Every structure is written in C-alpha cells, then in structure tokens.
Amino acid sequence: MPQAMVTVRAATPAERGDWDQLVARFPNCRIVHKRAWIEWLEACGCGTPLYLVFEQAGEIVAAIPGLLVRLGLLRLYGSPLPGWQTPAMGP
C-alpha cells in the first residue's frame, strides 16, 4: 500500500500557541524545540520565528521550529544557523 504524501505547512496560530505541547509528544523533544528558546533567539536578533508542521494523512508527524533571516538578497530558514549555540532543533 502506498504511503500518504507528507505535507509541510506553517503552524496555525492555535498550534503556535500550544507549540510546547505539540513538540513534547515527540521522543527527541529538547529545550531547543520549545517556544522560549525560539523567542530568545528572536530577541537576540537572530531572525523571525517560523514554526513548521509536517502532516501525513491529516496527522501531524513532525514539527520543526526555526527562524527566517535575510542574507543579502536571500531569505534563509535556519534550524539552526551557525552562531546560535544550538546543535539541532526540529523534533
């Protein structure tokens, strides 16, 4: 039987509000996946938060927090980017 396609999308306002509970259900969830960490990086000027969720057959199967940064003409999504003192982000 073929696997359902995985869809990536930005988290809804409700999902962002409950982000810590959403990522806590994944076994590899760490402090760097939590909103407080992303908000701290934002406050340090590291970028604009973008929370992504991955859905398969209507179920969230992954979630990754990151930040958008501008580098010249490019806009990059980092999770993490060098200098953030974060070894990994997305659970």
pLDDT tens, residue by residue, 48-78: 999 999 999 999 999 999 999 998 999 988 8
Q: How far apart are alpha carbons 62 and 45 in whole angstroms?
A: 26
Task: Please tell me the distance from the alpha carbon of residue 52 to that of residue 33, in angstroms, as a whole number.
Answer: 11
pLDDT at residue 89 greater than cutoff 60:
no
Please count the CA atoms within 13 angstroms of the CA of 33 that sit on its side-chain side.
Answer: 20
What is the predicted pLDDT for the residue at 19? Answer: 97
Residue 63 class from Cβ within 10 Å (0-12 exposed, 13-18 middle, 19+ buried)?
buried
Mean pLDDT of the chain: 87
Q: Give this prediction's pTM.
A: 0.83
| pLDDT value of position 82 | 65
